[in-house]
Amino acid sequence: MRVKITVHGHVKSLLSSDQSEYEFEICQPTDVSELIEKRLEINPMVFASIVIDGEAVRRDYVVDQDCEILLISPTAGG
């Protein structure tokens, strides 16, 4: 399965590279939290929202087909 992950917001600065888009091949169904932890090497709790193919999902959602994942940082400012 091919998974495309796009990261939006200030959390990008916590990633090991300055990329905002990543693509991975996964061989078996995997929940979103595990995918974020293992592939991006970041705590999935730092994201306020996770959207898969246009639909908001929980961190325990299981990815079992090709998809696009959007990870959104919490808003900040004042």
- Host domain of residue 19: 2-72
Domain count of the fold of the chain: 1
Predicted confidence (pLDDT) per residue in 2-45, tens digit? 999 999 888 888 887 878 999 999 999 999 999 999 999 999 99
CATH number of the structural domain spanning residue 38: 3.10.20.30
Residue 23: inside a domain: yes
- pLDDT for residue 77: 60
DSSP conformational letter for 77: -
Which pLDDT band holds residue 78 (cuts at 50, 70, 90)? low
| Any domain includes 78 | no
Buried b / exposed e over 31-57, threshold 16 CB at 10 Å, is: bbbebbeeebebebeebeebebeeeeb
Quote the pLDDT of residue 60: 96
Residue 50 counted as domain residue = yes
Question: Does 49 have pLDDT greater than 70?
Answer: yes
Model confidence band, residue 76 (pLDDT cutoffs 50, 70, 90): low
